[in-house]
Chain A
Amino acid sequence: MDCEYCEIVRGKEGVLKIYEDDTVIAVLDQKGVVPGQVTLFTKEHYPIIEIVPDAVMATMFQQASVLTMSIFDAFQAQGTNALLHNGVPAGQLVPHVSIVLIPRKEKDGLDFSWKPKPVSPGDLEKTVAALKNEMSALTAPKPVPVQSAVSSAPPEKVDGGKNNYLLKQLQRIP
């Protein structure tokens, strides 16, 4: 069983390819929300963006930018949208990372606006804290693995693992 985009990468026929390089392919969609819609996807199969390498993410969106300009010019659009749905619950149609580029015009019948959800200051505070925490962990410089004959175990946690004899000693002090 192969995914739709992987089939295109392998050379499926009847597809309107508009751009291709080592990393990404872009096609003019024959199914979509409006004629002129373009989908750009990675040649490598990544189901979600979290496992896409930074360099590939960069290339994807840099090409999306060039394609955005092309769509805008070629179709005399008044605006454009770029959409990436990450995960089936988000509306990801094919489990293979892709960006959808849509030319927009006044009264084109499309509407991506949303009604703002009411949020309390408390909600916002909690959310900021949760996200900040995760971002610190995600953007922390990765520790360089130390070649040691003793053990390859990860650095001990400050909150005390079984082997943390220093903490144990401290705890014994009355």
Chain B
Amino acid sequence: MPEAAQLTPAQQKELEEKLRNMSSEELQDYQKQQCIFCQIISGKIPAHKVYEDKTALAILDIYPARLGHVLVVPKEHYGVLPQVPAQEIAHLFTLAKQISHAQLRGLRVEGTSIFVANGVVAGQKSAHFVVHVIPRATGDELLEILPKKLDPEKVKVLYPRLVNTLSRLVGAQKEVIDLPLSEPEKRIATKPEQSLEQQEDRATDAEESVEEEPPEKKGGVSLDDIARLFQ
């Protein structure tokens, strides 16, 4: 979907300066003004509404993967899935389920897909969090995820990293030392003193790497995010 118009380098610089001097509230307001979905939600831009309630809206995508493609959006402006509060996640995806059902019944399609893109690299086209519900047909070549055998060495390395990150995120104290060949629970070593230290090291590493990553997981909006919209 087309977003903002192209700016000259001078205009871009001016904009960046302006953004730098805004408070976080002003930035949020600014982003809402620029956000197509926020404008649709506030009635400034028309849309093909299929369903609406207090906290969510479902509209037809006018640049669809297939006719009947619906965008389910929260009325509140969130960037990516991890930023959406649990209750809203519940609402959005139970709504997506109903939309899928409506597509099956009302459009007589063979199947549906739910698709979320977090981050520009993943195909996120607008700054506002969107859940795509797409009518599907055999052979339409959309969203193909045909599995191929993955390099077991690569997967081996990723497993403890992921489990430890997840543990840290949910606040658990367990730590996986080894790759489990059978049940993971049996191989998990609980070493209280070491694991705290190692967790701190990992936390510092994570902090350092955060600066280089796009700040998807932070609650606020970054200048990079906004600048990216104008590219």
Contacts and interface: CB of A to CB of B under 8 A. Distances in A.
Interface residues of A, number: 81
B150 to A, nearest CB: 5
A117 B206 contact: no
B84 interface: yes
Contact of A65 (B63, B82, B122): B82
Contacts, number: 272
B104 A50 contact: yes
A93 B146 CA distance: 8
B106 interface: yes
A112 B125 CA distance: 12
Main secondary structure of the interface of A (DSSP, over half): mixed
Given A119-B62, A127-B48, A132-B49, 10 more contacts: A18-B163, A50-B97, A57-B93, A74-B161, A86-B100, A104-B121, A114-B142, A124-B48, A124-B60, A135-B58
Interface of B: 48-51, 58, 60, 62-68, 70, 80-82, 84, 86, 89-90, 92-94, 97-107, 110-124, 136-138, 142-152, 154-155, 158-159, 161-166, 169-170, 180-184, 206, 209, 213-214, 216-217
22 contacts: A29-B147, A29-B155, A32-B147, A33-B145, A35-B154, A54-B90, A57-B94, A57-B97, A60-B93, A61-B92, A66-B170, A67-B166, A68-B118, A69-B217, A79-B118, A79-B120, A90-B111, A90-B112, A91-B145, A114-B65, A124-B60, A135-B50
